[in-house]
Amino acid sequence: MEATAYRIVQEALTNVVKHSAARQAAVSVTCEGGRLIVEVVDEGPPARPPAAPPAERGFGLIGMRERAVAVGGGVRHGPVPGGGFRVRAELPTEAGPPTEAGPPTEGAAP
């Protein structure tokens, strides 16, 4: 679970650098009700449109979701009102098999 949290933060910050004109981002890690909450929020706005065609773009958000689901968690992501983008991962603090239930794995973060 620790490696999953680390890699999600790493990928989210990479996405800030690649896809945002933000000058800063905030990372928070908290524990709530048996779940590790990892959140990365940038101040936006989005960077200029990517030069690479869609087929050549990376799979950062998909990879984050797959990592979280593999440990029984989930990821939410989306724009922040007023500008910016948020990635929020919720991971169980105890190892267990992946479940179909749990937090949404796509869509706007709360």
Which domain, by its residues, includes 20? 2-92
Question: Which band of pLDDT confidence, cut at 50, 70 and 90, is reported for residue 47?
Answer: confident
Residue 49 has pLDDT above 80, yes or no: no
pLDDT for 59: 83
Provide the CATH number for the domain around residue 22: 3.30.565.10
User: Does residue 67 lie within any of the structural domains?
Assistant: yes
pLDDT in tens, 55-85: 555 688 999 999 999 999 999 999 999 889 9
Domain count, the chain: 1
CB 25 within 8 A of CB 44: no
Three-class SS state of 18: helix
Helix, strand, coil distribution of the chain in percent, nearest 5 = 30, 30, 40
Residue of 85 and 104 predicted with greater confidence: 85
User: Does residue 27 lie within any of the structural domains?
Assistant: yes
pLDDT for 102: 43
User: Does residue 105 lie within any of the structural domains?
Assistant: no
* Residues constituting the chain: 110
Residue 11 φ/ψ, nearest 5 degrees: -70, -40
